[in-house]
């Protein structure tokens, strides 16, 4: 029996993999830098690193997009306090990302769901198709950075992204303890096999300062990520300590009336992740002078997000001992 299109005298030509890649590449032609945040281990803070890095970049005046490909457990919308829905542009039929501020846009499976608690029960082919659509059919526009958040492991989501965006640079997140490092080694092996470009490694949850006495506690040990980066010949992008303020801020989202007060003594900034990424973005490992010298800053009204995400706590290379910058109240503490 003839199909409807054949009955109407039309022929549907299936899109080949090569054609699909060309469409996806063309759709991202105005995106300068793509960063793929991943880890072999769950619960290491991939989403919080993605969101905080994106917010920090947006606060510097960059146009930033976040593509959340954690289809079964998306947490980026919650971290950003986003309750919006993806809409369709009436002119070109493309999907329009959810705006999370003047310079930050988001695509997540949760932004399509009426019921935010609904489970996504999909097998591989459907997940691959959804991610390809996020890349090919979303109106990303001109971005300085597209950050891609991912689920743990090395499965369909990771292979699809690296196939669809072969020039993406990978930021690998780990915590210091061996149980995390063991899975991250597998992730690094995966990246070698697929010949992905690894920008470097971030050690998250690296120490905790007691909010009462100021003593540092190696809750999950410390230094494992840095040691692994050295062992693998990778850039070590920085160590991020645990901070109770970030936990509170993540639960609140951007809608709280005041940002949480930081707890305890601050670690001297040994390497701010954002500023370590700037010099390593360009191909060949050579610093990109336009990014390193002076990130763009807008006027008083435009320098920060209109609705800043969670209290972004980041070590800044320009601060003195113990200070950090909070993007929510735009102050150093």
Q: Which residue has the higher pLDDT, 216 or 3?
A: 216
- Read off the DSSP letter of residue 81: T
Q: Which residue has the higher pLDDT, 121 or 3?
A: 121
pLDDT(121) > 60: yes
Average pLDDT over residues 65-92: 93
pLDDT at 211: 76
Angle 47-55-94 (CA atoms, 0-180°, nearest 5)? 80
pLDDT digits (tens, 9 = 90+) for 12-30: 566 788 888 999 999 999 9
Query: What are φ and ψ of residue 167, in 5° steps?
Result: -90, 10
Residue/partner pairs of 181-186 with CB below 8 Å, 24 or more apart: 181/224, 181/225, 181/228, 183/39, 183/40, 183/41, 183/152, 184/39, 184/40, 184/41, 184/225, 184/228, 185/40, 185/228, 186/40, 186/154
Q: Which has the closest alpha carbon to 142: 51, 32, 36, 26?
A: 32
Average pLDDT over residues 101-116: 93
pLDDT(9) > 80: no
Q: How far is CA 141 from the centre of its chain?
A: 18
Q: Tokens in use for 193?
A: 């096999």
Q: How far is CA 157 from CA 39, 122, 148, 160, 225, in A?
A: 12, 12, 11, 5, 24
What is the spatial distance between Cα 176 and Cα 221, in angstroms, rounded to a whole number? 6
Are the CB atoms for 238 and 268 separated by under 8 Å?
A: no
**What's the number of CA atoms in the CB half-sphere (13 Å) around residue 199?**
29
pLDDT at 108: 96
DSSP H helices in 40-155? 46-59, 76-80, 124-136
> How many other CB atoms sit within 10 Å of the CB of residue 252?
17
Task: Give residue 249's pLDDT band: very low, low, confident or very high (50, 70, 90).
Answer: confident
pLDDT at 4: 47
pLDDT digits (tens, 9 = 90+) for 123-137: 999 999 999 999 999
What is the spatial distance between Cα 103 and Cα 123, in angstroms, rounded to a whole number? 34
Q: The pTM is what?
A: 0.76
Q: Structural domain boundaries of the chain?
A: 16-332
Lowest-confidence region among 92-96, 112-116, 179-183, 266-270: 266-270
Task: Give residue 279's pLDDT band: very low, low, confident or very high (50, 70, 90).
Answer: low
Average pLDDT over residues 213-239: 89
Q: How far is CA 109 from the centre of its chain?
A: 15
pLDDT(319) > 60: no
Look-up of token digits 């999370």: 100
Average pLDDT over residues 117-121: 93
pLDDT at 308: 30
Sign of CA dihedral 141, 168, 164, 109: negative
Q: Among 5-9, 108-112, 283-287, name the most confident range.
A: 108-112
Task: Give residue 207's pLDDT band: very low, low, confident or very high (50, 70, 90).
Answer: confident
pLDDT(326) > 80: no
pLDDT at 300: 31
CATH number of 16-332: 3.40.50.300
pLDDT at 125: 94
Q: Among 54-58, 138-142, 267-271, name the most confident range.
A: 138-142
Q: How far is CA 61 from the centre of its chain?
A: 17
């Amino acid at each position: 029996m003839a199909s409807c299109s054949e009955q109407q005298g039309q022929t549907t030509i299936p899109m080949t993999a090569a054609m699909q890649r060309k469409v996806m590449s063309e759709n991202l032609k105005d995106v300068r830098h793509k960063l793929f945040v991943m880890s072999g281990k769950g619960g290491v803070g991939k989403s919080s690193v993605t969101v905080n890095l994106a917010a920090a970049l947006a606060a510097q005046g960059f146009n930033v997009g976040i593509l959340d490909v954690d289809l079964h457990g998306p947490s980026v919308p919650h971290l950003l306090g986003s309750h919006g829905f993806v809409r369709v542009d009436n002119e070109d039929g493309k999907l329009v990302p959810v705006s999370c501020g003047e310079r930050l846009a988001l695509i997540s499976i949760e932004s399509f769901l009426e019921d935010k608690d609904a489970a996504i029960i999909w097998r591989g082919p459907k997940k691959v198709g959804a991610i390809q659509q996020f890349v090919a059919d979303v109106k990303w526009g001109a971005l300085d950075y597209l950050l891609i958040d991912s689920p743990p492991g090395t499965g369909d989501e990771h292979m699809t992204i690296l196939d669809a965006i072969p020039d993406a640079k990978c930021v690998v997140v780990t915590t210091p303890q061996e149980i995390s490092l063991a899975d991250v080694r597998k992730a690094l092996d995966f990246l070698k096999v697929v010949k992905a470009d690894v920008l470097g490694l971030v050690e998250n949850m690296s120490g905790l300062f007691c909010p009462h006495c100021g003593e540092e506690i190696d809750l999950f040990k410390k230094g494992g990520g840095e040691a692994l980066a050295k062992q693998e010949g990778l850039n070590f992008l920085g160590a991020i300590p645990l901070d109770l303020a970030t936990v509170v801020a993540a639960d609140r989202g951007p809608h709280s009336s005041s940002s949480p007060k930081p707890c305890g003594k601050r670690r001297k900034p040994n390497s701010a992740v954002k500023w370590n990424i700037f010099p390593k973005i360009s191909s060949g490992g050579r610093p990109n002078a336009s990014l390193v010298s002076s990130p763009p800053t807008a006027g008083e009204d435009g320098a920060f997000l209109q609705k800043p995400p969670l209290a972004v706590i980041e070590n800044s290379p320009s601060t003195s001992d113990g200070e950090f910058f909070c993007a929510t109240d735009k102050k150093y503490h």
